[in-house]
Chain A
Amino acid sequence: MLELLAGGRAIATSRNAELAAVLLGSAVESKAEKLIQHGADKIFIVDHPALERFQVDTFLDALTTLVKRNTPETLLVGSTKNGKELASRLAARLEAGCTPDCTQLTVNGEGRLVTKRIVYSGNAVVTATYIRKPQIATVPSRTFEKLEPTERKGEVVKAEVEIEPPKVEVVAVNKVEVADVKIEEAEIAVCGGRGIERKEDFKPLEELAQLLGGQVSNTRPLAEDRKWFTGWVGLSGKKTKPALYIGCGISGMIQHVAGMRDSRVVVAINKDPEAPIFEVADYVVVGDLYEIVPALVEALKKELKK
């Protein structure tokens, strides 16, 4: 949310417009001040018992009403799975255009939003613009850096909206492993691929990640074929944008690369000198991950002590 405010602030400033944030939920008013400090001019609050738990149906109703009332020029939504569903459905209700997973957002000479996003399994970057308003875009985490909080003045508006009972009922929720969750946010990402023979062999990768304060993830075959994990980094999975990405035993299929191409520094460790991952790596290590990764843990321990 704070990152989105930074992106929204830049767009609002170049349009000479106001930046508003929407707080939906139950007892959320206390959060308004922080949003103002991070760039919002106005906060719309909808406090409603039906919004206590996030559900697309109810949040969409509240948001639709607010958008119809206030007719914003541009709307940014976080690119989570639920966020994308929400944005698409909102766009349908408003007969608006929506661009998902924007990695860059600018304003052109005509004052229209211009977006860049990756398509075709990472083979292309498409630049698009809007024909009508509101201009809706979803934005992955870590696209913008959140602003430093400053003392700013902002307006808090409490809005009353009608919310219909949801059409979809949530029966059960099962959380999955937390370590798996944060790869999108990770500063350091250590990823394992098919070169890892057994699930236990992830241990050195975990040690490496732990040493560097990073997160471990994996490619899709390890989740889908071997069923070791529930999530993965890739086009159809999570996008990671760390300062350092270390790929271990990863061949570098384009689908995986689409999920990590925005990493700042890429290290690839693979036995196969022809592995395509090396094409997108800054540091190429042709070698056995079973030897290199533990050695790297030791070397880093030693070097970082200096």
Chain B
Amino acid sequence: MVCVKQAIDVSQLKADTSTGRLVTAGVPRKISDFDKNALEEAVRLKEKLGGEVVTLTASAEDAKTSIREALAMGADKGYFVYDEALLGSDTLAVSTALAGAVRKIGDFDLILCGEASVDGFSAQVGPRLAELLNVPIVTYAKKVALEGETVTVERVLEDRYETVKCKTPAVVTVTKQINDPRIPSLMAIMKASKKEIVNWKLSDIDVAPEKVGEAGWGVKIVDVFAPKVERKRIAIEGENPADIAEKLARALIQEGVVGR
């Protein structure tokens, strides 16, 4: 099972120049990058071990195009919790909805998620989902091996790699290092159009709307602004590299950032 988020394509964002507020409406959406890695890994595990790969998405926005893309990449079936009540929901609310859907889908060996989403980058949904389902979680995977009921994972941490193992069912979040997601062939895209997408409302997965509405949130957003960057942008020019270097060295000493 792979959790797929339809994220904002952050490379296409623009700020409202008069207010500095960021405009997200109308910005193209895409599958969050790391979720593609999770999907690729799931498809590779299926190719090796058999079984089935399903995707799971929960959103207040129509994400069917992204789900189709996931199916073209090799998932067998998509589950989509599409409900307006999810509008503005935080990680607490989204993971509650996802956990409801997982329970409805039933047994699974592994849930793979991206380490974080490319837009919000909170890295919370995978760990939260594991807690709600009361299963083991391994975060930041760069290698996943599944053997019987044991999953062995290499984790990437700041100062070390860790090899860990746990029993399935489990949740694993993956980094970009784990693989290079495939680009689906035309044939795969055509085949995907025949695959099933199961549409659910929150009521179908026994999640009360107030659990994911504002009353169910832990955090609410006050404002989103484009960050102000005030840099001096002083060009250091000179006759030759030595001249430039000397001017730069003096400027840095003047700033008090070197030679302290």
Contact = CB atoms under 8 A, between A and B. Distances in A.
A172 B135 CA distance: 22
Q: Interface residues of B: mostly helix, strand, loop or mixed?
A: mixed
Interface string B96-140: 000000000000000000011011111110111111100111111
Interface in B139-159: 139-140, 152, 156-159
Contacts of B119: 119-121
Contact of A188 (B15, B123, B258): B258
B246 A303 contact: yes
Given A92-B128, A167-B166, A175-B159, A243 B233 contact: no
A165 B128 CA distance: 20
A266 B245 CA distance: 15
B162 A173 contact: yes
Interface string A89-122: 1011101111111000000000000100011111
Contact of A114 (B163, B222, B246): B222
Which of A57, A96, A130, A265 has the most chain B CB atoms closer than 10 A to its own CB?
Answer: A265
Contacts of A244: 252, 255, 257-258
A238 B231 CA distance: 22
Contact of B257 (A98, A121, A125, A188): A188
Contacts of A292: 241, 244-245
Contacts of A178: 159
Given A84-B123, A125-B225, A244-B257, A278 B218 contact: no
Contact of A283 (B217, B223, B236): B236
Given A125-B224, A130-B218, A130-B219, A304 B92 contact: no
Interface in B153-178: 156-167, 175-177
A91 B241 CA distance: 54
Given A81-B157, A126-B223, A265-B252, A295 B244 contact: yes
B33 to A, nearest CB: 9
B22 A123 contact: yes
Contacts of B255: 244, 265, 282
Nearest to B229: A280
A132 interface: yes
Contacts of B258: 188, 212, 244, 300, 304
Which of B90, B166, B241 has the most chain A CB atoms closer than 10 A to its own CB?
Answer: B241
B223 A127 contact: yes
B132 A92 contact: yes
Contacts of B245: 292, 295-296, 298-300
A-B pairs with lowest CB-CB distance, top 10 = A97-B218, A295-B245, A97-B219, A92-B131, A167-B136, A88-B127, A299-B245, A291-B241, A244-B257, A92-B128
Interface of A: 57, 80-82, 84-85, 88-89, 91-93, 95-101, 114, 118-132, 136, 167-176, 178, 180-181, 184, 188, 212, 224, 230-231, 235-236, 238, 243-244, 254, 261, 264-267, 278-288, 291-292, 295-296, 298-300, 302-304
Interface of B: 8, 10-11, 13, 15, 22, 90-92, 95, 115-116, 118-124, 126-132, 135-140, 152, 156-167, 175-177, 214-215, 217-227, 229, 231-237, 241-242, 244-246, 248-253, 255, 257-259
